[in-house]
Structure 1
Amino acid sequence: MQFRSLGKTDISVSAICLGTMTWGEQNTQEQAFEQIRLAKQAGINFIDTAEMYPVPPRGETYTRTESIIGEYFKAHGDRNDWVLASKVAGPGRMEHIRDGNPRLDRRNITAALEGSLKRLNTDYLDLYQLHWPDRKTNFFGVLGYQHDANDDAVAIEETLSVLGDLVKEGKVRQIGLSNETPWGTQRFLHLAETLNLPRAVSIQNPYSLLNRTFEVGLAEIAIREQIGLLAYSPLAFGVLTGKYLDGARPADGRLTLYERFQRYNNPEAQSATARYVALAREHGLDPGQMALAYVTSRPFVTSNIIGATNLEQLASNLASIDLTLSDEVIAGIEAIHTAQPNPAP
């Protein structure tokens, strides 16, 4: 396993991070335990979750993923072997989260963290992330920014101040951003410096062969400011494995089970995926491993967050760490990207 520094800290994280958003929905507790054990055996020390998980989010399963991880720690006693990351939910139409009005203010962040710590059976988080901005901006597949002059967003200064108190209390070691924009990232960094508040060490945004929009405005920030990308959906919900090509719908696939997840499966994405899959097979590579290896190899990526619903998938994803893509394969990827850039943002 490869290891990289988390921002400017001395925390070393595996270049592959274990994602958990299917646990409690598509995966049982015992299956989740098996995934954790296999990942640890492969050298992974980084696990990412969120109060909102599992996905798709709904009241009946809210917080179940964190509870499963907490039960694992209770049973195995190896909490200190892991760099543990979670997230606080921002505003949105989720009536099951804090009376339907989750915000990134003092009351909500404090309540969210206390709940997460209790469920996770720990007294601290190594990384606490803002799951998405409090302000109205473009994320979750929205490319164009539409300004809302009436936005009543919680001030970033307030959010950072709360996080600063939690760091001082020892409940959080480091903070991170997620689904953030270039403006938002720079604003967080600027206020941290000028107000002597915690500096974000990472940004968790989508990044895959079908969505390289991170490269446009955030990659330079990530490198120059040492706020590396924690890449989520690197296989575009499994699309880049090729298992949905030609209209295929495997019974246990996320796109089969949940109609709402069509973000990565539009006609342009299907066309580009077919070309990426063909490129991988032309070079004797597993398409999913090629897609993951590309993400992990990018200089602005700190860790690549992989998810799986069975051990066979997880083992294949883990093995991608040992794959180094040839110059010829990289050139082929870039040619496809030039012809069909970012078909599934």
Structure 2
Amino acid sequence: MVGETTALSGLKRRGFLAGAGAVAAGLGTTHDAHAATAQLAGPLVRRDVWSLSAPWNAYTEAYARAVRLMQQRDPRDPTSWAFQAAIHGTFSSPEDPTWNQCQHQSWHFFPWHRVYLYYFERIVRAAVAQIGGPSDWALPYWNWDRPFPSNTLPQAFRVPQLPDGSENPLYLPLRRTDAMMAGFQFTTRQTSTVKAMRTTQFATPDGRRSFGGGMQPVAQFAGALGAMEKQPHNVIHVQIGSRARPNCTGGWMGVIKCAANDPVFFLHHANVDRLWDVWLAQGGGRANPTDTAWLNQPFTMYDENGQPVTLRSRDVVDTAGQLGVVYG
């Protein structure tokens, strides 16, 4: 592993620093390609967080309360906040086989994060139901590539209290930059997706001139960065939490093994996931890979019951038809 802190500084040029970790195998998992559509009669709508009342509305308040509930669970529980964050990255040891398995710098970046978001969302939705939240709750997304106020940290992540006066678990001033907490506005240069959207190939052997990354085997850091991961994905990560220190004692979003501890991580990645669909919708020869090495690659997560489940890339190419999720 390169770098003890695995910091994300300088990501616009280099991407995430290399790290250890691999996709778990042999966990006795079940294949779960149609679980979402079996749960609901219609698709779940992921809403733009800035289209909702700020700071609080039924969906952001339910998210905050569900986060708090998950944070109270035993860290060994796969549905706990600590365990879910560790799937993406952690300094904790001994490691669970499913920890530190995030895929970066390769064509697995998009499908792995889509599977991760999907099961995370199911776990949160179960917690929302437990606390009596909206039955149609879905993970909001943060479209930072729009004018003010969308280009600022959503207000629910900047206020210290929930409507009832209790502590807000989304408020993390010590884990984000002072500027972001004060309402810093991303510049269009930081948030622009123009270069990534101009690419017409999802993957290339070395990742150059690709939307999604290089045609590399699964690895937490494969060294073949795609255009969208480089800009704006990485840039946003660094801007939010660049005060990197060892073992998650500083900013979280700027450190790969800490990033998913921050609840805003998931709204950021929901937007990145949405942009995959936007890229495809442009046409002009844009398409997902047809290689079996990509289509059949399995990724193992845990569902809302704490059971291991596996989806392949081919199972998540259609968010509405296969996962029962649409972006509003």
TM-score by length of 2: 0.30
TM-score by length of 1: 0.29
Higher strand share: 1
The structure, 1 or 2, with the larger RCO (C-alpha pairs under 8 Å, 6+ apart) is 2
- Which protein shows a greater Rg? 1
Higher helix share: 1
